A and B are shown apart, each in its own frame.
Chain A
Amino acid sequence: MKNILEIKNLTKYYGKVLAVKDLSLELKPGEIFGFIGPNGAGKSTTIRSIMNLINKTKGEVYFLGETLTKNNLKLKEQIGYLPSEISLYEELTVKEMLDYHESFYKKDLSKRRKELVKKLKLDETKKIEDLSLGNQKKLGIVLALMHEPKLLILDEPTSGLDPIMQQVFYDLLKEEKEKGTTIFYSTHILSEISKICDRVGIIKEGTLLKVESIKELQAKNLTNVTITSKEIDKIGKELNVKVEKIDSETIKFKNTLASNELIKILSKYEIKKLLIEEPSLEDVFLHYYK
Chain B
Amino acid sequence: MFKREYKYNFKSFLIWTTITLGIFLIVYLMYPSIVSSDNIKMIDEMMKVFPPEMLKAFNMDIASMNSAYGWLKSEGFVFVLLIIGCYAGILGANILLKEENDKTVEYLNSLPIKRTSIVLNKVLVGLINITLLVLLLGIFNYIGLTLSGDFDIKQFILLSITPLFPALVLFFTCLFISTFTHKTKKTLGISLGIVLISYILQTLSTIAEPVEFLKYFSAFTLADIRNVIMNVSINPFMIIITIILSLMFLSLTIIHYNKKELV
- Which A residues are closer than 8 A to B by beta carbons? 48, 51-55, 70-71, 73, 76-77, 79-81, 83, 85-92, 96, 100-101, 103-105, 143
Contact = CB atoms under 8 A, between A and B. Distances in A.
B100 to A, nearest CB: 10
B38 interface: no
Given A87-B104, A87-B107, A88-B104, A53 B263 contact: yes
A142 B27 CA distance: 54
B102 to A, nearest CB: 6
A76 B110 contact: yes
Given A54-B262, A70-B258, A76 B107 contact: no
Contacts, number: 66
B110 A92 contact: no
A87 B110 contact: no
B107 A86 contact: yes
Contact of A55 (B107, B116, B261): B261
A178 to B, nearest CB: 24
Q: How large is the interface on B (under 10, 10 to 19, 20 to 34, 35 or more residues)?
A: 20 to 34
Contacts of B259: 55
A51 B115 contact: no
Contact of A92 (B4, B109, B113, B263): B4
A172 to B, nearest CB: 18
Nearest to A74: B112
B112 A104 contact: yes
B48 interface: no
A242 to B, nearest CB: 44
B103 interface: yes
Given A70-B109, A103-B1, 13 more contacts: A55-B259, A73-B114, A76-B112, A79-B110, A80-B110, A81-B107, A81-B110, A83-B106, A87-B106, A88-B104, A89-B8, A90-B102, A104-B112
Contact of B112 (A73, A83, A85, A89): A73
B112 A77 contact: yes
B26 interface: no
A104 B111 contact: yes
Nearest to A140: B107
B203 to A, nearest CB: 39
A85 B109 contact: no
A53 B107 CA distance: 10
Choose among B4, B104, B105, B113 the residue with the greatest number of A CB atoms under 10 Å from its CB.
B4
Contacts of A81: 106-107, 110
B144 to A, nearest CB: 34
A70 B115 contact: yes
Contact of B107 (A77, A88, A96, A103): A88
Interface in B86-124: 102-107, 109-116
B103 A87 contact: yes
Contacts of B116: 71
Contact of B111 (A48, A71, A76, A88): A76
Nearest to B104: A87
A90 B261 CA distance: 23
A53 B4 contact: no
Contacts of A51: 106, 109-110
A89 B115 contact: no
A116 to B, nearest CB: 16
Contacts of A80: 110
B101 to A, nearest CB: 10
9 contacts: A51-B109, A53-B263, A54-B262, A70-B115, A71-B258, A83-B110, A85-B103, A100-B1, A101-B111
Nearest to A100: B4
A143 B8 CA distance: 21
A48 B115 contact: no
Choose among B103, B106, B259 the residue with the greatest number of A CB atoms under 10 Å from its CB.
B106
A92 B107 CA distance: 14
Nearest to B107: A88
B106 to A, nearest CB: 5
Interface string B1-28: 1001000100000000000000000000
A104 B113 CA distance: 7
Nearest to A85: B103
Contacts of B102: 87, 90
B84 to A, nearest CB: 25
A182 B120 CA distance: 33
Choose among B4, B102, B111, B261 the residue with the greatest number of A CB atoms under 10 Å from its CB.
B111
Nearest to A81: B110
Nearest to A54: B261
Nearest to A147: B112
Contacts of B4: 89, 92, 96, 100
Contacts of B262: 53-54
CB-CB nearest 7 A-B residue pairs: A87-B103, A81-B110, A77-B112, A76-B112, A73-B112, A54-B261, A104-B111
A124 B27 CA distance: 47
A105 B112 CA distance: 7
A59 B40 CA distance: 74
Contacts of A52: 109
